[in-house]
A = this chain, B = another copy of it.
């Protein structure tokens, strides 16, 4: 874990985001704290140029409109051509036909390095039944099965977030148990994880190890922040969580 994170901090990779407007500020601040550099350009005319200068790309459909879809697809294609990692976060894909179609459209044009989402979102992509509510996943089933099927169907790595995070990459199944319930009480916790995951993937290792590093570090940072004596709820948790994202892994692990 230490090596991946140190490498990110040494390189400060530029992560180009096409993400939702609810989380742009939080994602930028969290990624800056972590040690990478966010950029959030969204004009169709410039996304190809921006992706050409980037080290990784995050596509998040949280507040996507039809007008914005072409820029997202262009960004993904440019990243594929450059050979940099692309993370797709299909936020709320099960909630509406518009989202389902948009994600299909992206996946028909862009090869993601990782598809990352909660169980409800990723289950929907491979037609496994799962209960959702708005953009939240409230079902109950087997995330390993979902991760494996997403990885197989889309020839990608899959990260299924939840109380236990499941990673299916390069034929391996990895699990992370670090995390804290307060992450579920702040908006964009999953979205920012996507940003940090993208940053870790720029280290050029095979996907499994940096992906596990990202989710584990993120969960440990949440645990660390939640223990701070000044944290008394989701509001005070948030700034302390951002602080924690800038710390050394050893500090978060308490070693």
Scoring A residues 42 to 69 as 1 if CB is less than 8 Å from chain B, else 0, what string do you get?
A: 1111100110011000000011111100
A43-B187 in contact (CB<8A): no
Contact of A241 with B by CB under 8 A = yes
Contact of A33 with B by CB under 8 A = yes
Chain B residue nearest in CB terms to A242: B235
Contact of A200 with B by CB under 8 A = no
Task: Collect the chain B residues with CB atoms within 8 Å of residue A63's CB.
Answer: 24, 40-43
Contact of A233 with B by CB under 8 A = yes
Residue from B98, B241, B242 within 8 A of A46 (CB atoms) = B98
Scoring A residues 22 to 35 as 1 if CB is less than 8 Å from chain B, else 0, what string do you get?
A: 11111011001100
Contact residues of A: prevailing secondary structure: mixed
Chain B residue nearest in CB terms to A184: B32
B235-A25 in contact (CB<8A): no
Contact of A240 with B by CB under 8 A = yes
B66-A45 in contact (CB<8A): yes
- Taking A24-B21, A37-B136, A46-B98 as contacts, is the C-beta distance between A235 and B230 under 8 angstroms? no
Task: Collect the chain B residues with CB atoms within 8 Å of residue A29's CB.
Answer: 186-187, 234-235, 238
Give chain A interface residues in 160-190, CB to chain B under 8 Å.
185-188
Question: What separation, in Å, do the CA atoms of A185 and B211 have in the docked complex?
Answer: 24
**Closest-CB distance, A39 to chain B (whole angstroms):** 4
**Closest-CB distance, A56 to chain B (whole angstroms):** 12
Contact of A243 with B by CB under 8 A = yes
Contact of A135 with B by CB under 8 A = yes
Task: Collect the chain B residues with CB atoms within 8 Å of residue A32's CB.
Answer: 185-187, 234
B232-A243 in contact (CB<8A): yes
**Closest-CB distance, A12 to chain B (whole angstroms):** 8
Scoring A residues 224 to 242 as 1 if CB is less than 8 Å from chain B, else 0, what string do you get?
A: 0000001011111011111
Interchain residue pairs with CB less than 8 A apart (8): A20-B40, A22-B24, A22-B40, A33-B235, A46-B97, A50-B95, A232-B243, A238-B242
When A and B form their complex, which 7 residue pairs have the shortest distance between CB atoms, in order from nearest? A235-B242, A233-B243, A46-B98, A28-B187, A235-B239, A46-B96, A49-B96
